[in-house]
A and B are shown apart, each in its own frame.
Chain A
Amino acid sequence: MKLALAERLLAAREAGRPACLVRFLRTGEEALVVGGDTIVGADLPDAVLDAIREAHRRDRSTTIETEAGPVFLQVFNPPLRLVVVGAVHIAQALVPMASLTGYAVTVIDPRRGFATAERFPNVTLVDAWPDEAMEALAPDERTAVVTLTHDPKLDDPALDVALRSRAFYIGALGSKRTHAARLERLSAMGHGPEALARIHGPAGLDIGAVSPAEIAISILAQITAVLRREG
């Protein structure tokens, strides 16, 4: 690997851009693709560029067979994001666990005294209203969203934005009854059955979780299952 190539790769990542390091294992040639453009190395065949896009989407490095022999595609994606609505007790357990799992975490809570740096060190805090905050964060297919407040005034606007996004996971904490009422309200806001089916509610795998930390585990486990089991 050329030093200059490694430097450009890390510079791209520091600028928040997805990068793919390409190695031709037969010849040792290498290339660097940032945001779909080949910035180091010879132009790549379309089949390789397609495979790079797919590798980024699945967040998975891979070796593909080509006419030029095996080609290794090493994906350097921006971190997955987790947006937590509600700076509540469960969030205090969920945020460090998600950070450890590799998520860039943002906590949204407009209520005074909730989203504070003392309660949530080393995490991005947003004290705007959830709809506004969520619009600004623009969840994409590498973002998970979970609402924890139980308060329709806060959860519903966040879920409304999440449902109109490509977020790979949407979860909402609350009992089955709470969730049924929530679905009715979101339906009245214009979301159809297919959209509503995207919400995991009540959020989390059914592992009998009781404490805030256990509930956080069940939610993070569910997010992981959705992320890794698909495709």
Chain B
Amino acid sequence: MSEAERLLHQALAWKREGRKVAIATVVTTWGSSPRPVGSMLVVDDTGRMVGSVSGGCIEGAVVKEARAVMDGAPPRLLDFGVTNEQAWEVGLACGGKVQVWVEALT
């Protein structure tokens, strides 16, 4: 089973436990991004998470957005990169740019 399939299985398992679940997925990359397109991070409302969308530098910001979509916000496309102020703050140290799609499992 691929990593992405394992992560989706985990997302379904948490959902069936009655948790709120959000899925973040890398949808585009430029330059030296640490994780390829299709990489996923699965988060639940107790703070558990599996997978990754970067080398660890943007996960914090992504989890914050994940909580918002879990609470009913529409799916969001997040931009991270050296030209982006937020990215500078969260420190995408690799110098790459990524876009991450964050959605709830509903």
Shortest CB distance A212–B (Å): 28
For residue A56, give the distance in angstroms from its CB to the closest CB of chain B.
Answer: 12
Residue of B23, B38, B77, B99 contacting most chain A CB atoms (<10 Å): B38
Q: Is the CB of B23 within 8 A of A60?
A: no
Q: Spot the interface stretch: B4-12, B54-62, B85-93.
A: B4-12
Which residues of chain B have a CB within 8 Å of any CB of chain A?
1-2, 4-5, 8-9, 11-12, 15, 23, 25, 27-28, 36-38, 74-75, 77, 99, 101, 103-106
Complex: A28 Cα to B25 Cα, angstroms: 13
A-B contact pairs, 14 of them (CB 8 A): A1-B23, A1-B105, A1-B106, A3-B105, A10-B5, A13-B5, A23-B27, A28-B75, A60-B37, A61-B36, A70-B28, A72-B101, A76-B4, A77-B2
How many A-B contacts at CB < 8 Å in the complex? 59
Closest to B9 in A: A10
The distance in angstroms between the C-alpha atoms of A13 and B1, with both chains bound, is 9
B105 touches A9 (CB 8 A): no
A62 contacts which chain B residues (CB < 8 A)? 37
B10 → A minimal CB distance (Å)? 11
Expressed in whole angstroms, the minimum distance between the Cβ of B106 and any Cβ of chain A is 6
Evaluate contact between A3 and B9: CB separation under 8 angstroms: no
Contact B12 A6 (CB under 8 A): yes
A contact residues around B5 at 8 Å (CB) = 10, 13, 76
Q: What are the residues of chain A within 8 A of B23 when measuring CB–CB?
A: 1
The residues of B that contact A72 with a CB separation of less than 8 Å are 25, 27, 101
- In the complex, which residues of chain A have a beta carbon less than 8 angstroms from the beta carbon of B27? 23, 25, 63, 70, 72
CB closest residue in chain A, given B25: A74
| Measured CA separation A36–B4 after assembly (Å) | 20
Complex CA–CA separation, A1 to B23 (angstroms)? 8
CA distance A97 to B74 in the complex (A): 42
Asked if B8 contacts A61 (CB within 8 A), the reply is no
Contacting B at CB under 8 A, from A50-65, are 60-63
C-alpha spacing A194/B11, complex, angstroms:
48
Cβ contact within 8 Å between A6 and B38: no
